[in-house]
Amino acid sequence: MARRSGFKMGIRKPSLGKMLTARTSVSRYVRHSLGVKAPRGWGWVTDPKRALYNRVYSRLTVSVLDLIKGLFRR
């Protein structure tokens, strides 16, 4: 029996609810107002497992919104 990888491949479908929640969460507001953030690129230091997953996920998938933007740039 072959093992399935835990990664999605192909086109991601956007979730407007998750996009809105990520930008309006209380924890984000507190983190930004207090300045308690690691600099960009420090994901390997703060959470290496999550950083690796995010790197592979972003290379294997494409956003529908990015595809639409690409159509209008030409």
* Domain residue limits, the chain: 43-74
What is the distance, to the nearest Å, from the Cα of residue 68 to the centroid of all Cα atoms in its chain?
A: 18
Residue 5 contacts residue 61 (beta carbons within 8 Å): no
What local confidence, expressed as pLDDT, does residue 1 receive? 44
Q: Which helix (H) or strand (E) segment is 13 a member of?
A: none
**Is the pLDDT score of 70 beyond 90?**
no
What local confidence, expressed as pLDDT, does residue 4 receive? 59
pLDDT tens profile 35-55: 877 888 888 988 999 999 989
Between 39 and 17, the higher pLDDT residue: 17
Residue with the two structure tokens 């972003």: 58
- Looking at the chain, the whole-number percentage of residues with pLDDT higher than 90 is 16
Mean pLDDT of all residues belonging to the chain: 84
Residue 8 contacts residue 57 (beta carbons within 8 Å): yes
Residue 63 contacts residue 12 (beta carbons within 8 Å): yes
